Structure 1
Amino acid sequence: MNLWKVYAILVTVMFIWGFNLPAVKFLVGYIEPVTMTAFRILLASLTVFAILTVLKIVRKPTKKELPYILAGALLNVVGHHYFLSMGLTTTTSTSAGLILGTGPVLTAVIASLMLRIFPSKLQWIGVFLGLAGVSITVLSTGGETGGLSIGQLFVFLSILSQVFSYMIIAKLAKTLDPRLLTAYMFFVGSIILFLISLIQEPGEIAKFATVPPVFWVYFFGSGMIGTAVGHMLYNYSVGKAGPSKAAIFMNLNTVFVLLGSAILLGEIITTRHVFGLILIVAGVIFGSGAAEDLWKKRKVKRTMNALK
């Protein structure tokens, strides 16, 4: 697939995730985080399997793929979603957005160490431009960023778990379609989360019978679109573009988180976010390699014109 199409998919995913984070924040206000997440991930798993069944790409994993699926489930699903849902019970979604914005830097560093994938100088510039934009954007909200809370620590652990999972996804994508890998990881992860919820939050399942109707709108929207479609497309993009390039788009997630928080939770967006947005967009253009790609194409075009 053309990389520009992959970039378009990644922007769409960031928009979906931007609204999913405040949706999850809303959901954990009614149901304890682990119980709610277990059922939300199970719904996501069934959704992805249904989509892939229609596309006729569902198959049984091989014995060599099973350990990677389990490791991916523990990191991408259990670790990421457990710590994220726990963190959102004690921190704001805007503060969480700032911490999630460290994802591209962590991915670039870990990919360099584990996969020997080294970003270019322009891509590193893009990584830090994006991080600066994320910081300015979220700090201008006046959110709780003055000190490290347990909620913020949980959110950081969630993004760290997710970043490590991208290394597994990038490696397994050579033999197993990342979209199918997502379905298997979700299914295994939801079972593990459910077992954890029985110990950590006994009797919480009964609360599902007491939630208001609007809860189910957020629940199905988050599970089927935010989690199922979002992660399926993102993991697919990681397999096509690589973890470092895909991760740089996570900076856009902060912008969409603020937009989603304003619409769904009533959090305020100020004009100061515009400067942060400019840095984020610049970071995405440089960090994704799009700027280098355009420059190389322009150089080739000039060379061809000179030879005529």
Structure 2
Amino acid sequence: MNNHRISIMLVGVIFLWGINVVMIKYLTNFYPPLALAGIRMVLAAVFLLPAVLYPGGWQPVPRTAWWPICGVAVFCIFLHQLSLSWGIKATSATHATLILALNPLLTTLLASWLIREPLSRNKLLGVAFGLAGILLIISGKSDTVGATLLGDGVMVVAMLTYVLGSLCVKKGTIFVPPLVITTYSHLLAAPALIVLGLFANPVWMYEGALDFWPLSVLLFSSWFSTALGALLWNTGVHHIGASTASLFLNGQPVVGLFASALFLNEQLGWQHYLALIFVLTGVSLGTGILNSRQKVTP
């Protein structure tokens, strides 16, 4: 699979995840946040399981693959969903966005140190441009009054857990395909989130949760943004590495911003369009997608 196809695939993931932010914000009117996370993960696991079983039934997973699969389940899904839900409530949206924007930088550094992915000048430039774009997005916000030290700390945990989970994905795909990593990690994390939700939530849904639109949005968020998005993301990490793939995460808040303008009638300013240019420049530099001769080994 060449670099251009992988880039198009990851851009699709970022669109799915960007609009997912808007969908989750809508769904919290009908489900408590922690309950919603558990429900979405269960539906995602149910969606992915037939794809693993269909070709020839259940296939045994090598013992060496279970540690990275468990790592993805613990870090990328369970702890990330838990800390993200808590952190966003406990700090401002500005601080949350800025802390999560450090993901590509930390992923690039840790991937170079822990799994020996090459650390190039273009990757660091890509991170810098992406971070500049995120700063432009949040520059016009004035909600830092809601920020707390505890909330910022929890958001750092949310960012760290996703970085560690991405490194586990790269390690696990040495032994099994990305589909197996994605499916089994969701199957492991979903029951844990459900059990936690049983203790944390006195109610699991509010009035109107099973109406047509809330249910349709829930299924799209679970099956496409969560399940399919995770599968395509893990496939991208397998092919181009965690550090290069992480550069695309800079596009998620940009997509979320434009989706909010489209669906929630939020206003856009010149800095938002400039941020889009910065993010696209950063992704182009860091991934080398402008170099038509660059190939990626399957």
Alignment TM-score > 0.5, same fold = yes
Name the structure 2 match of 1:222.
Answer: 221
Q: Which amino acid aligns with 1:19?
A: I
Structure 1 contact 91–144 (Cα < 8 Å) conserved: no
Report matched runs for 1:105-254 at 5 Å.
105-140=105-140, 142-145=141-144, 148-149=147-148, 150-201=150-201, 203-205=202-204, 207=205, 210-211=208-209, 213=211, 214-254=213-253
The CA distance in 2 between the partners of 1:91 and 1:24, in whole Å, is 18
Following superposition, the deviation at residue 73 of structure 1 comes to 0.4
The CA distance in 2 between the partners of 1:144 and 1:227, in whole Å, is 28
Question: After superposition, what is the alpha-carbon deviation per residue over 1:153-187, rounded to whole angstroms, capped at 9, x for unaligned?
Answer: 43432222111011111011011111221111111
Question: After superposition, what is the alpha-carbon deviation per residue over 1:114-145, rounded to whole angstroms, capped at 9, x for unaligned?
Answer: 112232112211111111111112323x2524
Name the structure 2 match of 1:271.
Answer: 270
Moved more, 50-59 or 236-245: 50-59
Moved more, 58-67 or 70-79: 58-67
Q: Which amino acid aligns with 1:2?
A: N
Structure 1 contact 111–117 (Cα < 8 Å) conserved: yes
Gaps of 5+ in 1: 298-308
Compared with structure 1, are the counterparts of its residues 148 and 106 closer, same or farther at alpha carbon in structure 2 (3 Å cutoff)?
A: farther
Question: After superposition, what is the alpha-carbon deviation per residue over 1:10-52, rounded to whole angstroms, capped at 9, x for unaligned?
Answer: 0110111000012112222332222111111010111122344
The CA distance in 2 between the partners of 1:77 and 1:129, in whole Å, is 28
Structure 1 contact 98–254 (Cα < 8 Å) conserved: no
Compared with structure 1, are the counterparts of its residues 75 and 57 closer, same or farther at alpha carbon in structure 2 (3 Å cutoff)?
A: farther
Structure 1 contact 18–257 (Cα < 8 Å) conserved: yes
Structure 1 contact 28–89 (Cα < 8 Å) conserved: no
Compared with structure 1, are the counterparts of its residues 262 and 50 closer, same or farther at alpha carbon in structure 2 (3 Å cutoff)?
A: farther
Report matched runs for 1:85-100 at 5 Å.
85-89=85-89, 96-100=96-100
Name the structure 2 match of 1:43.
Answer: 43
Compared with structure 1, are the counterparts of its residues 97 and 230 closer, same or farther at alpha carbon in structure 2 (3 Å cutoff)?
A: farther
Name the structure 1 match of 2:18.
Answer: 18
Structure 2 contact 3–294 (Cα < 8 Å) conserved: no
The CA distance in 2 between the partners of 1:98 and 1:22, in whole Å, is 18
The CA distance in 1 between the partners of 2:85 and 2:41, in whole Å, is 12
RMSD: 2.5
Q: Which amino acid aligns with 2:189?
A: G
Name the structure 1 match of 2:282.
Answer: 283
Compared with structure 1, are the counterparts of its residues 263 and 93 closer, same or farther at alpha carbon in structure 2 (3 Å cutoff)?
A: farther
Compared with structure 1, are the counterparts of its residues 261 and 89 closer, same or farther at alpha carbon in structure 2 (3 Å cutoff)?
A: farther
TM-score (norm 1): 0.86
Structure 2 contact 16–224 (Cα < 8 Å) conserved: yes
Name the structure 2 match of 1:69.
Answer: 69
TM-score (norm 2): 0.89
Q: Which amino acid aligns with 2:259?
A: G
Following superposition, the deviation at residue 75 of structure 1 comes to 0.4
- SS state at 1:249 partner: helix
Asked if 1:260 corresponds to 2:259, the answer is yes
Name the structure 1 match of 2:81.
Answer: 81
Q: Which amino acid aligns with 1:163?
A: V
The CA distance in 2 between the partners of 1:165 and 1:74, in whole Å, is 8
Following superposition, the deviation at residue 96 of structure 1 comes to 4.1
Structure 1 contact 134–276 (Cα < 8 Å) conserved: yes
- SS state at 1:290 partner: coil
Compared with structure 1, are the counterparts of its residues 200 and 85 closer, same or farther at alpha carbon in structure 2 (3 Å cutoff)?
A: same
Structure 2 contact 125–286 (Cα < 8 Å) conserved: yes
Structure 1 contact 124–287 (Cα < 8 Å) conserved: yes
Moved more, 215-224 or 45-54: 45-54
Q: Which amino acid aligns with 1:288?
A: T
The CA distance in 2 between the partners of 1:88 and 1:230, in whole Å, is 22
Name the structure 1 match of 2:9.
Answer: 9
Structure 2 contact 29–206 (Cα < 8 Å) conserved: no
Structure 1 contact 57–180 (Cα < 8 Å) conserved: no
The CA distance in 2 between the partners of 1:135 and 1:105, in whole Å, is 14
Q: Which amino acid aligns with 2:196?
A: I
